[in-house]
Amino acid sequence: WYGRRLTNAQAGIPQGPRLLESAGNLHNLRLVAGKAQGAFRGDYPFQDTDVYKWLEAASWQLAQDTVAGRDTTALTAEVDRVITLVAEAQQEDGYLNTWFQSGRGAGRYSDLRWGHELYNAGHLIQAAIAHHRATGRTELLDVACGFADHIGTVFGPPGSGRPIDGFDAHPEVETALAELYRETGDQRHLDLAGYFVDRHGHGLHGHEAYCQDRVPLREADTVEGHAVRQLYLLAAVADLAIETGEESLAAASARLWHAMATTKTHLTGGVGAHHDKEDFGDPYELPTERAYCETCAAIASVQFGWRMALLTGQARYSDLVERTLFNGFLAGMSLDGESWLYVNPLQVRDGYVDGGGDQSSRRTRWFRCACCPPNVMRLLASMEHYLTSTDGRGLQIHQYASGVFHGEAGGAPVDVSVDTEYPWRGRIAVTVERTPGTSWTLSLRIPQWCTEYTVGGVAADAHVDVEDGWLRIHRSWSAGEELLLDLELAPRLVSADPRVDAVRGCVAIERGPLVYCLEQADHPGGGLDDVVIEAGGALTAKERPDLLGGVVTVVGTGYRRSLPEPGWWPYVPAGSPQAPGTPLELVAVPYFAWANRTLGSMRVWLPTS
């Protein structure tokens, strides 16, 4: 992750203010602060969130830079400038939304279906928490608390005396309020989050799935509707289950995660089957070229999954987080950090025509609806939050990346350092850096994709358990002791549940946590629509430091089909003979690195005949 985070720090985050200026977001803040003339710029009432997400990303970056002893002067100045703008734009009673304040729409809270005011507030709160944690300063936190307090005076159940009983059709404020409770200790924030979550599914938005209003959450049996909305809401459900201990919320979040993972998740961890309404499809409806797999939905899935991992301690949640991070999420940003994918399809045809717009299968410098790029920035800048956890009895390593990680055992601090070239190599060295005299448990996740591994350096007195995806080593550690986990990374072929109709008769290549794909650039002389893999052929990993910033490719064997006899009708009697094909070496590259070369076709799932 180091290289990707460096790109984010050096290319992604620094370009934020310029892009937010040219897209009009900063102008809109100045406009409502009375410091600019003109009209609201842009098409959407949620454009303030682009600013907030960038502030969150920049704040997490400041935290990193501070720990690393890097000069933070320039970024601090940019952040301060934008925070000042945000504070100036806020109204006296705490309300803040440049769309409605500049006279667009029919007035405050007049349109909870489309107005996105609480969604905006959620991202403001998350940015403020990041800034507070990173710098200890409270300027943005004060703005966020002011807005949160205002919301608390406006929204409440019938009989509460507050004027509006409702919720934002785009969830986000719920999980943000739960986190604000953690930051401030103010119970009102948690209660408000709980109120909003509870109001879903009772018809306040016409029982529309798109608005997360079809059924109450505790009764839902599958994820549905707009994928990002569903998953931000479920992150809040997990938050509430963690903070309140309510069993029915824990059960609902586990049940819905399970429905998502088993029936509505693409191989890349991406979610969302429909361009239309950006929603989850039916169970096992997992198209390839029309996979929606919005980058933001991958991020939301990671946020939800991480909370489930904390709630339950089960490895499967981090298994899916890993898969999503390395594939469905990471593909959203180009290798140079300067262009983006809103949707992340698993196939692009030879005859693909780019219709333009945000939902193109070609990378774009910025979007009309620019939710994804700053969302990528904030996740990359805060990646360390998703790597390890502590339960007070030791340290759990969920994701493998080099660094020093802190935990707690019996009230005393424990530190370990990890050294690895994962995901390219399977060797993971964990050194205990600080340990109390008492025994404690070091837990390492054995990834779901991994069927062979070796453990070295385990002392004779260690109690080693492998349970449900966790390698748990319990002993009294000494500082300097090293544990070696070696995960076998041989390339492999996977196939899908037969109910996934879209990829019947196909296999996909994986290596470690990475999903691979074929790109046209590596297969000159023809397209990919007619490429067939020999499923029984050898698969060879090749280190290619020259390619795509340095990747390991997987080379396999296959052929390019000869075209059927030309005719005017593409359907033929079953069993019609196929013409023989032309042998072809298949060169697969990691999916996350696709669409960084000349435009062309791509496919993850490869026919076997």
Q: Which of 88, 191, 246, 285 binds a copy of itself (CB under 8 A)?
A: 285
Q: Which of 143, 178, 493, 604 binds a copy of itself (CB under 8 A)?
A: 493
Q: Which of 261, 309, 409, 462 binds a copy of itself (CB under 8 A)?
A: 261
Pairing mode, if any, of strands 412-420 and 427-434?
antiparallel
Give the burial class of 417: count Cβ atoms within 10 A of its Cβ; 0-12 exposed, 13-18 middle, 19 or more buried: middle
Binding map of a copy of itself across residues 553-572, x = CB under 8 A, - = no contact? --------x--x--xxxxxx
Residue number with CB closer to a copy of itself (331 or 506)? 506
Shortest approach of a copy of itself to residue 447 CB, angstroms?
11
Residue number with CB closer to a copy of itself (254 or 483)? 254
Residue 209 makes contact with a copy of itself by CB under 8 A: yes
**Per annotation, catalytic residue among 211, 371, 506, 517:** 371
Alpha-carbon distance of 590 to 609, in angstroms, equals 23
Q: Which of 69, 158, 498, 580 binds a copy of itself (CB under 8 A)?
A: 498
Q: Which of 369, 455, 535, 599 binds a copy of itself (CB under 8 A)?
A: 535
Pairing mode, if any, of strands 453-456 and 482-487?
antiparallel
Residue number with CB closer to a copy of itself (178 or 502)? 502
Sign of the Cα pseudo-torsion (516, 520, 526, 530, in order): positive
**Encoding tokens for residue 389?**
């956890």
DSSP string, 285-338: ---STT----HHHHHHHHHHHHHHHHHH--HHHHHHHHHIIIIIIGGGB-TTSS
Residue 578 makes contact with a copy of itself by CB under 8 A: yes
Stretch that binds a copy of itself, among 191-199, 233-241, 259-267, 331-339 (CB under 8 A): 259-267
User: CB of 530 within 8 A of CB of 561?
Assistant: yes
Residue 358 makes contact with a copy of itself by CB under 8 A: no
Q: Which of 59, 76, 347, 520 binds a copy of itself (CB under 8 A)?
A: 347
Residue number with CB closer to a copy of itself (127 or 493)? 493
Of 91, 29, 82, give the one whose Cα is nearest residue 57: 82
Residue 288 makes contact with a copy of itself by CB under 8 A: yes
Count of positions on this chain that bind a copy of itself (CB under 8 A):
67
**Side-chain half-sphere CA neighbours of 585 within 13 A:** 8
Shortest approach of a copy of itself to residue 503 CB, angstroms?
8
- The count of residues in the chain is 609
Alpha-carbon distance of 77 to 72, in angstroms, equals 8
Cis peptide bond upstream of 171, omega within 30:
no
Residue 448 makes contact with a copy of itself by CB under 8 A: yes
Stretch that binds a copy of itself, among 191-199, 421-429, 479-487, 489-497 (CB under 8 A): 489-497
Residue number with CB closer to a copy of itself (335 or 508)? 508
Shortest approach of a copy of itself to residue 353 CB, angstroms?
7
Q: Which of 488, 497, 543, 585 binds a copy of itself (CB under 8 A)?
A: 497
Shortest approach of a copy of itself to residue 215 CB, angstroms?
11
Shortest approach of a copy of itself to residue 152 CB, angstroms?
34
Binding map of a copy of itself across residues 405-444, x = CB under 8 A, - = no contact? ----------------------------------------
Residue 73 makes contact with a copy of itself by CB under 8 A: no
- The structure tokens 């002067």 sit at 73
Give the burial class of 575: count Cβ atoms within 10 A of its Cβ; 0-12 exposed, 13-18 middle, 19 or more buried: exposed
Considering only residues 151-190, where is the footprint of a copy of itself by CB under 8 A? none
**Amino acid at site 402:** S
Stretch that binds a copy of itself, among 24-32, 78-86, 412-420, 573-581 (CB under 8 A): 573-581
Shortest approach of a copy of itself to residue 574 CB, angstroms?
4
Whether 517 is catalytic: no
Binding map of a copy of itself across residues 239-258, x = CB under 8 A, - = no contact? -------------------x
The 3-class secondary structure across 60-95, one letter per residue, is HHHHHHHHHCCCCHHHHHHHHHHHHHHHHHCCCCCC
User: CB of 328 within 8 A of CB of 311?
Assistant: no
Shortest approach of a copy of itself to residue 578 CB, angstroms?
7
Q: Which of 74, 353, 460, 538 binds a copy of itself (CB under 8 A)?
A: 353
Of 52, 39, 166, 43, give the one whose Cα is nearest residue 101: 39
Residue number with CB closer to a copy of itself (26 or 509)? 509
Terminal-residue alpha carbon distance, the chain: 37
Residue 500 makes contact with a copy of itself by CB under 8 A: yes
Shortest approach of a copy of itself to residue 317 CB, angstroms?
10
Whether 285 is catalytic: no
Alpha-carbon distance of 139 to 447, in angstroms, equals 42
DSSP string, 424-487: TS-EEEEEEEE--SS-EEEEEE--TT---EEEE---TT-EEEEETTEEEEEE---TT-EEEEEE
Give the burial class of 559: count Cβ atoms within 10 A of its Cβ; 0-12 exposed, 13-18 middle, 19 or more buried: middle
Phi-psi region of 175 (alpha: psi -120 to 50; beta: other; left: phi over 0): alpha
Stretch that binds a copy of itself, among 135-143, 180-188, 278-286, 453-461 (CB under 8 A): 278-286
- The structure tokens 């602060």 sit at 33
Binding map of a copy of itself across residues 299-318, x = CB under 8 A, - = no contact? -----------------x--
Q: In the complex, which residues of this chain contact a copy of itself (CB under 8 A)? A: 209, 222, 224, 258, 261-263, 265, 267, 274-277, 281-285, 287-290, 316, 319-320, 347, 349-353, 355, 359, 448, 492-502, 504-508, 529-530, 535, 561, 564, 567-576, 578, 607
Active site residues: 278, 371
